[in-house]
Structure 1
């Protein structure tokens, strides 16, 4: 493969003419002590930290008054983190998202991650078992329509690990090997999903059943929802399994900056096993080995809940997926959550994931402002 170009994440500076309300908070980058490891993207995300114990009302006033600046910061950097304010519950989180001017949307029934609703337009970020790392992804990048904004709220600070890695999608796209990038642009990518009617007792909660995904077991209703999304669907002969398939553009242009962004969910054997290698030093070695063995078995039996291929149905080669993963992880940020943190991301510019978790952790999520990228 050709050597990819070197592109550092941009470092932006805040205007010097701050208002008094802006001076209620410190505007800064994450400190090295707040990161799990060094990053090439020190400007992602912009941190807005309370100068003292600021109330929810203070934060609401701040984000309302400085909405345009915060949105500009997110457009430049990909996201911002509100830290040290009194955001203590799901309703407070929803209040701040509303003050930012976003229009929250309901949970997407096609979402791959199992999650639970906890308040109006507020959900658990995932109910996937703690031991499994969650692949780097831009939310719903397997659909032509996805939220422009995704936000997270730390209700329970992780006891150990449990970071939400962030990925600069612009930098990943621009540093991708030119041959791989050209192939992705030409062929697009196809996602094949497998929805069981019932989850086997031995299976971990890593995907949704019909009822969980669509809220109904009526096959006609499900087919109508699926085809409305432009997907192809097919039922297993005995009706136990629904298979869906759709093609999307993995390198869409951002609606404002027009930059290509790598929006992709790497449901690929190579990437999943390498993510388990990523967290192996942080897990019991026998437990990690058993997770890898289980995933290899799911692939061998061809029962993985989601698989990714090229848009023409040909496989993405292991070396190509390794390159896609390299471009993504080379531009990652792993920061440690603090209780009350509110993280707001431009979902096209910035991907996210989850590292393995030990002990209690509860991160909530909200989605807003859908945008469509037709193929």
Structure 2
């Protein structure tokens, strides 16, 4: 992550980025302030694609849930068709992805591999890490523009096919679909254009999705897929080659192909990851920070970190 730009405070003028909103001088509780400034907060996100609210007094995950529901104007959504391990708290608040602290989580738009995704996300920093642990961002419009034309056009023409094999290495299907019933899994897949195949108690799914989307409000094209995150080359070190050789491309825990089933070259995935790295920036977390995000306009990820880190997330405004 050596190319990551950290956006820092300017000690003379207060902030150097208008998307950081320092509210530490407010005397009300965080929820009370939000209720009095709903339109203003939503305008910040609509204009800039995200907003960092800093300095609000927030005492619990329940209060965070109430703040998000007030801003979004609806109850928070349940996290279905999961791709990473999380702990569910009350009122559809979740921990962020619980991968090992040394692991970097690549940039992604939440649920871009699915035909349903949240338009709005909110992150809440309960405990910032001792070092690292930022939640980097990247503008999906700029990612689209900066991917070389030859690669971009092929993805745009063919789309992406996501292949998942649930079981020993990746998440079990019971956790992904939040049920122990094969019938319920099949019903969900049928309703959401997911092909599925059972191998006794093991499940494989395939889902074809566009690689590029248009933002419903702005009409702008955004790079909106997780091909780089699912692709076999994203597995660390030599593990990718060993797993490919031992179990084959089609049986990896997860993999990404073009929508017609053809192989995506490792080199093209490396180019896409480099574009993300070049465009990624972050704000070092402070306790009680709330980061509001337009999930189609901006990707997010996670830096490696040391010490204790606790960041919560809630999602709403599901679209398809």
Tell me if both proteins adopt one fold, taking TM over 0.5 as the criterion. Answer: yes
CA shift for structure 1 position 161: 1.3
Call closer, same or farther: CA 1:159–1:224 in 2, change over 3 Å: same
One of 211, 214, 222 as aligned partner of 1:261: 222
Asked if 1:158 is matched to 2:129, the reply is yes
Q: Quick one: distance in 2 between partners of 1:209 and 1:367?
A: 23
In 2, Cα distance between equivalents of 1:322 and 1:241: 31
TM normalised by structure 1 equals 0.76
Residues 163-312 of structure 1 aligned to structure 2 (within 5 Å): 163-196=134-167, 199=168, 207-236=170-199, 239-265=200-226, 266=228, 267-273=230-236, 292-300=237-245, 301-302=247-248, 303-312=251-260
Deviations 1:63-116 (A, max 9, x none): 334333322322232200111111132011112112213424433331201111
SS of aligned partner of 1:107: coil
1:48 and 1:32 map into 2 onto residues whose CA distance is 11
Shift of 1:254: 0.1
- Give the whole-Å Cα distance in 1 for the aligned partners of 2:223 and 2:175: 29
Q: Count how many residue pairs are aligned between Structure 1 and Structure 2.
A: 306
2: distance between equivalents of 1:174 and 1:264?
15
Cα distance in 2 for partners of 1:218, 1:157 equals 38
- Unpaired runs of 5+ in structure 2? 1-5
Partner of 1:47: 20
Q: Check 1:104–1:333 CA distance in 2 against 1; reply closer, same or farther (3 A cut).
A: farther
**Correspondence list, 1:1-40, <5 A:** 30-31=7-8
Matched residue SS, 1:173: helix
Aligned residue number for residue 357 of structure 1: 305
The residue that corresponds to 2:266 in the other structure is 318
Check the 8 A contact 1:155/1:364 in 2, yes or no: yes
Superposition map of 1:116-135 within 5 A: 116-135=87-106
Q: Give the Cα separation in 2 of the matches to 1:130 and 1:216.
A: 28
Q: What do the CA deviations read for 1:315-362 (whole angstroms, capped 9, x no partner)?
A: 111222122222222211122111111111000001111111222111
Shift of 1:32: 5.8
Task: Provide, for residues 24-44 of structure 1, a one-character-per-residue CA deviation record: whole Å limited to 9, x for no partner.
Answer: xxxxx943679xxxxxxx85x
1:50 CA drift (Å): 1.8
Offset at residue 304 of structure 1 (A): 3.4
Find the residue that maps to 2:221 and give its secondary structure: coil
Return closer, same or farther for 1:61/1:128 CA change in 2, 3 Å cut-off.
same
Question: Which 10-residue stretch deviates more, 65-74 or 308-317?
Answer: 65-74
- Pairwise CA RMSD: 2.2
Summarize the Cα distance change of 1:53–1:121 in structure 2 as closer, same or farther, 3 Å threshold: same
* Mapped partners of 1:93, 1:262: distance in 2: 30
Deviation at 1:61, TM superposition (A): 4.0
CA distance 1:65–1:233, change in 2 (3 Å):
same
> Residues 296, 356 of structure 1: CA spacing in aligned structure 2 closer, same or farther, 3 A cutoff?
farther
8 Å CA contact 2:86, 2:97 repeated in 1: yes
Alpha-carbon distance between aligned partners in 1 of 2:173 and 2:232, rounded to the nearest angstrom: 24
Distance 1:134 1:168 in 2: 17
So what's the TM-score if we normalise by structure 2? 0.88
Is the 1:102–1:368 Cα contact (8 Å) retained in structure 2?
Answer: no
**310-319 or 299-308, larger mean C-alpha shift:** 299-308
